[in-house]
């Protein structure tokens, strides 16, 4: 935190800001939106592993048709295994919304975005800084940007929190310059 001169109209400690940064409206990520986005990202990330149950089912079909090893329980076990795996991640993502240590992910922030960093402000005195290096990937949804930090942790910036189309274009240009999104 940078110390600024004491003035009755200005807080004693203030997060340093960039006057050219894009400032957004305050936004809090709804927990249902978080769960949906987290599961969607998990499916995108883990889609290649879906070939394992498919290969097991195809292998079992071949064994059943040839009469080598007729067994229907393998189908049931594969379906149960896939359902338990998906249920495990649903419980994880819903649980994150309940834990105290993850509550900051769901607070109302005003974002200030510039080419160096993203500043997340709760108010003029409190907030945090996120460097672009912390963001692993970014992708566009139909209604906003998803900035992935890790599995289950991301920033979601809907388009409607930007004050103008110009601000949205500036953020899009920054993301393109950082090679997070393509044209």
Angle between helices 73-96 and 51-66 (to 10 degrees): 170
Domains of the chain and any CATH numbers: 2-27+107-177 (2.30.29), 37-96 (no CATH)
The band of 180, judged by pLDDT with boundaries at 50, 70 and 90, is very high
| Two structure tokens written together for 133 | 């290096």
Mean of pLDDT values over 58-87: 88
Stretch (H or E) spanning 151: none
CA angle in degrees (0–180, nearest 5) for 40-46-48: 130
The sheet with strand 144-150 has its strands ordered as: 137-140, 144-150, 153-158
How many CA atoms lie less than 13 Å away from 131 in the CB half-sphere? 2
pLDDT of 57-68, one tens digit each? 899 899 888 888
Phi, psi (5° rounding) for residue 68? -65, -45
Give residue for tokens 């249920």. 87
Mean of pLDDT values over 40-50: 88
């Amino acid at each position: 935190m940078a110390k600024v001169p004491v003035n009755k109209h200005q807080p004693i400690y203030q997060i340093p800001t960039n006057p050219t940064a894009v400032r957004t409206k305050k936004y809090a990520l709804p927990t249902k939106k978080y769960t949906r986005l987290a599961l969607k990202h998990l499916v995108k990330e883990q889609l290649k592993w879906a070939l394992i149950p498919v290969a097991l089912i195809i292998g079992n079909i071949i064994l059943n048709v040839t009469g080598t090893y007729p067994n229907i329980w393998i189908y049931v076990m594969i379906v149960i295994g896939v359902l338990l795996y998906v249920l495990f991640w649903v419980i994880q993502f819903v649980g994150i919304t309940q834990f105290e240590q993850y509550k900051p992910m769901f607070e109302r922030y005003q974002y200030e975005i510039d080419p160096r960093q993203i500043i997340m402000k709760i108010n003029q005195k409190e907030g945090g800084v996120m460097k672009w290096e912390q963001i692993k990937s970014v992708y566009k949804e139909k209604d906003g940007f998803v900035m992935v930090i890790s599995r289950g942790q991301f920033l979601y910036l809907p388009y409607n929190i930007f004050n103008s189309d110009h601000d949205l274009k500036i953020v899009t240009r920054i993301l393109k310059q950082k090679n997070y999104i393509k044209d």
